[in-house]
Amino acid sequence: MLCAAANGGDLAICPECLKDMPWHRQSACPQCGLASSDNHICGHCLKSPPAFDSTHALFRYEYPLDAMLQHYKYRQTLNIAKTFSELMTASFPLDQPFDRIIPMPLHPKRLAERGFNQSVEIARLLSKRLRMPLDSGACTRIKFSPPQASLPLKTRIKNMRGAFHCDATLSGERVMLVDDVMTTGASLHELAATVKSAGASHVECWVVARTLPR
């Protein structure tokens, strides 16, 4: 995928390129995934805890991972989803099983524009590998908002309020939320709040990449 070498096996990236990827291995807050000394919960999460309980991210959202994700998202290079799911299951801790896996929903308008939901594909493969139930219909996005990437955190949080609806009853369930990138965490916070309102007791975010402040 990156160097055009054909020695990556089932992965979309060869072992040499994999070594050079921007792995998210530095000390980080276990709740939001941002830098924090000794892996302690950061000051922001202590002051204003997000609705989700923990975050696991494979990579920092930097080159070449950012280009790889764009290729996957807009050219539907589905073997990249397989690579991400395999790396996530191999890298992330799994102390207890999840009752269901819920991918980040797209608004129907955005789904029609893009043609597929990149988070659903990753979640589907995670479900298969972990042998845990996928529920891509539990939550829907009912509020359309413009692209959020360039917006400040407060604006993103405001735009995301009331963005999701959950039809499922999740009483006491452990839920995994799957997304490709966590930028500020506003979308995943709102989705986690929605599933907790439906009864979920524990929510973890599994993401391919985390955007870190420069």
**Domain coordinates of the chain in residue numbers?**
15-210
Task: Reply yes or no on whether the pLDDT at 6 is more than 70.
Answer: no
| pLDDT 10s digits, 137-196 | 999 999 988 776 667 777 888 888 999 999 999 999 999 999 999 999 999 999 999 999
Higher pLDDT, 8 or 178: 178
CATH number of 15-210: 3.40.50.2020
Q: Crossing angle, helix 118-130 and helix 79-91, to 10 degrees?
A: 50
Residue spans of alpha helices (H) in 35-175? 43-47, 65-75, 79-91, 108-114, 118-130, 153-160
Segment 3-7 shows an average pLDDT of: 60
Q: What is the mean pLDDT of the chain?
A: 91
